[in-house]
Amino acid sequence: MRPAAGRTARAASGQQDGVVPLLVFPCRQRCDWTAVEQRPHGRLFACNGCGSQWERGQGWTPRQADGTQPPGIAAELRRPADAAGSAGS
């Protein structure tokens, strides 16, 4: 995901050493979350509206622009924490 021209990202805080930080951009109210990558601890999701990223364990839960929870994120949150390596993409 790349930000729109003139936008800058900031890395999400609280990341562990050796872990790639998540990208966080200001919301553009065009939220459209999709799974983009399988990681060792679960799936990485990105917003097609602003380019922000989310993975399980963050202190917030993404919503679509219409306020609904994306099905892939709902499935990720239902998945047992120890089953991350077996989660599909």
Domain chopping of the chain, boundaries: 20-78
Helices and strands in the chain, H and E counts: 1, 5
Examine the pLDDT at 1 and tell me if it is beyond 50: no
The pLDDT of residue 21: 85
Using a cut of 0.75, tell me whether the model's pTM lies above it.
Answer: no
18 with 33: CB under 8 angstroms?
no
- 16-65 confidence digits (pLDDT tens): 555 678 999 989 999 999 999 999 889 999 999 999 999 999 999 999 99
